[in-house]
Copies of this chain bind each other. A is one copy, B any other.
Amino acid sequence: MLEIHDHDAIRELRLARPPANALDPDLVSALTRAVSEAPDAGAHALVLSASGSIYSGGLDVPALLTLDREGIESFLDEFLEMLRTVALSEVPVVAAVTGHAPAGGAVLAIHCDHRVMAAGAFRIGLNEVAVGIPLPQSLHSVLARVVGRRQAERLAVRGLLVPADEALAIGLVDELVAPEAVVPRALEIARAYLAVPPTAMRRTRELARSDLAAIFDAEQRDTWQRFVDDWFSAETQSVLRALAERLAKKSA
C-alpha cells in the first residue's frame, strides 16, 4: 500500500492503496514509519506521491466506521503522529499531488515543505466540515500558515474543495504542472533543496518551520477528545454513513 522508490539521495514514498489511497490505520502507520526511517536509510529529501488520479481521498471512512471509541482514539493518535512526523521531518518533504486531494489528502500536503499539483480538473481542500467533521486545532493552524488566516477561515468553515487553479491562486499549492510531470517536478524541487550548502539549509529550515513544532506542542489532548465525541455524534455518524453507502454503491 506504500511503495518506496529511491532516486539517488531522494526517496519517493508512493501511496498505492486503490482505488482512492484512503488513509486507514495500516497506511497511516506505514507512512509514519517510512517518513521517520528515511533519513537513516540515506534519504536527504522525500517526495510524497501517489499512484492514480486521486492523491488521497482522505480518511477511509468505511473502515473507521467499524471502530469503537477506543479504536477511533487510537487511530487519531496515530494520525496526529503521522502529521507531526511529516511536518517535523529532518529532511524536506515535497508533496507530489497527482490528482484530487480532498480532506486527509489536502491535510497531508499542507504539512509538507512544498506542494506540486496536477493541473486540470482536480480539486483540493480541507472539506472535513462538509462531511460533518470539525477541523482539529493543529490542522487549522497549519492551514493558516500556508494560506493566511482569511483564506484558512473561508476554506475550513465552509469545507470548500477548490479547483487546482484556485488552489494555486490562494497559495494552497505552490505550482501546477501537467499530471505526468508532477512527480518529475517534485523530484526537481527536492534536488533544489540538496543543491544549497546543507548546514545553512538545515538550520534555516528548522527556523522557518519552528512554528510547526509549536503548533503540535499546543495541540490539546482535550481537543481530540472533543473530536472523538463529535465523531460519534448523531450528526457526524449520519453524514459519514451516507458517505460510506455512496462509496459502496459506487464500487459495486
Contact = CB atoms under 8 A, between A and B. Distances in A.
Interface of A: 92, 113-114, 128-135, 137, 140, 145-154, 156-159, 171, 174, 192-193, 196-201, 203-205, 207-209, 211, 226, 230, 233, 235-236, 239
Contacts of A157: 92, 113, 193, 201, 204-205, 208
A144 to B, nearest CB: 8
A196 B152 contact: no
B150 A199 contact: no
A50 to B, nearest CB: 22
B196 A129 contact: yes
Binding site secondary structure of chain A: helix
18 contacts: A113-B153, A128-B200, A129-B201, A132-B200, A133-B200, A134-B200, A134-B203, A146-B149, A146-B150, A149-B208, A152-B208, A158-B192, A159-B201, A159-B204, A197-B235, A199-B230, A199-B236, A203-B230
Contacts of A235: 197-200
B197 A149 contact: no
A137 B152 CA distance: 23
Contacts of A196: 129-130, 158-159
Copy number in this complex? 3
Contacts of A203: 134, 226, 230
B204 A236 contact: no
A155 B239 CA distance: 42
A140 B205 CA distance: 10
A208 B113 contact: no
A113 B146 CA distance: 19
Contacts of A171: 148, 150-151
Nearest to A136: B207
A134, A156, A204 — most chain B CB neighbours (10 Å): A204
Contacts of A207: 134-135, 137, 140, 156
A145 B149 CA distance: 6
Given A197-B132, A199-B230, A211-B149, A204 B113 contact: no
Report, nearest first, the 9 A-B pairs whose CB atoms are least far apart.
A134-B203, A153-B208, A132-B197, A129-B200, A145-B149, A157-B205, A134-B200, A135-B204, A134-B204
Given A134-B199, A197-B236, A199-B233, 10 more contacts: A92-B157, A130-B196, A145-B150, A146-B149, A150-B174, A154-B174, A156-B207, A157-B205, A157-B208, A200-B235
